[in-house]
Structure 1
Amino acid sequence: MTVIDQKTDKGRAFAPFRFLRFRTLARSREGAAAIEFALLAIPYFLVIFAILETFVAFAAEELVSNAVDTMSRRMRTGQITYNLGRTTDMNQAQFRQAFCDEISILIRCSASEVATPSKLYLDVQTFSTFSAIPTTIPKVSTDKYADINTAAFKFAPGGAGTINMVRAYYRWEIITDLVRPYITTIRPSDGSMPSQYLIVATAAFQNEQYP
């Protein structure tokens, strides 16, 4: 009579099953996509936000530039005048409000911003010759990332036939950390994180001989 060791046979019977279950577990990829997404989500969204932020900043720059061209054309043709006793006369606050209206599709100016600039600065002046018009951005120091110097900014356009300059400066806030080191143009002297991209637009022209 042959004696069968039931414990041994039972162990042998379950050995292939344990091996197959281990192989199935090793090849299982349940949850792998979620783990991979968790690892890649942060850099992925940083890149997406950086692309969007750069696009919006450059769109704002184009918007300010178009507003400078529009306001300059109105001044050149006499649709906007200054201190001539006409219905087309505008003072500084009115001119700033009209400029803000031109950029309102993307940039909002509050009432306090129109009255006391903190982000949008406009410099409107008349000159005797084109060569007298400044060609550099006024800054508080010679540092590459120094803040702008607004002390000499004026609103004093000339009348018919005069040579004028309209310059606009806007402090655009950069939100995405990945973009800040590359496109910010104003950086604090204390070494803190920069956040502002200075938008600059300029137009130089001679007014028409309007009546």
Structure 2
Amino acid sequence: MKETDQVADATARLHRWKRPRLTAFARSRDGAAAIEFALLAIPYFMVVFAIIETFVAFAGEQLVSNAVDTMSRKMRTGQITPANTNATAFRTAFCNEIAILITCSSTEVATPSKLFIDVQNFSTFAAVPTTIPRTSTSTYADIKTSDFKYLPGGSGTINMVRAYYRWQIITDLIRPYISSVRPTDGSSSYFLIVATTAFQNEQY
């Protein structure tokens, strides 16, 4: 056999040997699940964390709303009056109502940075504000806290209790969708929890 024929024969045998192995490799699914999981794990867990964070944020909103109702009921029935409860005591009692999920430090009670409470009395229900006070006309502007007061009325007066809490959003994926305050200075946006109620005190 000529040398060229030997080379051709060897090449042919090599191709016959490689073809089934390449086909088998292409059809092999060993490790495919692990590779697919590695590709999808990050977006999957981001979605899971976003769902959990949204649930917790809305649970916090319900908790603050319940606290507003509880404190308002105590004001309405005369358990809390201007004579027996000052602003610090009111904030401390409010913080105790939401302590299951939101913790207020002594600094937060004295100088609020996240939890803001506005308690005022009015001559008529028509005078009660119906919008969220903001620092500008922008839809996502921060709340305007300079006009917040603690001025509860006495027996038979019309009162309003408003609570605002700056809920920090951890998951970047969900922040653009649930944040209701987006500062223009580039600082972190957050979900603004809002709870308010207006009522007339009983004749206690």
Write out aligned runs for 1:7-46 (5 A). 16-46=16-46
Q: Distance in 2 between matches of 1:13 and 1:178?
A: 56
Determine if the alignment matches structure 1 residue 97 to structure 2 residue 92.
yes
For the 8 Å contact 1:125–1:158, the answer to whether it is kept is yes
Determine if the alignment matches structure 1 residue 123 to structure 2 residue 118.
yes
Matching residue of 2:192: 198
Please say which of residues 8-17 and 170-179 is displaced more in the overlay. Answer: 8-17
Q: Deviations over 1:27-56 (max 9, x none)?
A: 112221121111111111111111111111
Determine if the alignment matches structure 1 residue 68 to structure 2 residue 68.
yes
Q: Distance in 2 between matches of 1:43 and 1:132?
A: 49
Q: Distance in 2 between matches of 1:18 and 1:154?
A: 83
5+ residue gaps, structure 2, are: none
2:178 equivalent among 183, 190, 195: 183
Please say which of residues 45-54 and 161-170 is displaced more in the overlay. Answer: 45-54
Matching residue of 1:86: none
Q: Distance in 1 between matches of 2:11 and 2:74?
A: 95
5+ residue gaps, structure 1, are: 84-88
Q: CA RMSD in A?
A: 2.0
Point out 4+ residue stretches in structure 1 off by more than 4 angstroms.
Answer: 5-17
Q: Deviations over 1:154-178 (max 9, x none)?
A: 1110111111000000000011111
For the 8 Å contact 1:167–1:201, the answer to whether it is kept is yes
Length-normalised TM-score, structure 1: 0.87
Determine if the alignment matches structure 1 residue 79 to structure 2 residue 79.
yes
Q: Distance in 2 between matches of 1:200 and 1:46?
A: 27
How far the C-alpha of 1:18 sits from its partner, in A, is 3.7
Q: Distance in 1 between matches of 2:151 and 2:167?
A: 26
Length-normalised TM-score, structure 2: 0.90
Q: Deviations over 1:95-141 (max 9, x none)?
A: 10110011111111011001110000000011111111111111111
Aligned residue-pair number: 200
Q: Cα distance 1:15–1:142, how it changes in 2: closer, same or farther (>3 A)?
A: closer
Secondary structure of residue in 1 paired with 2:194: strand
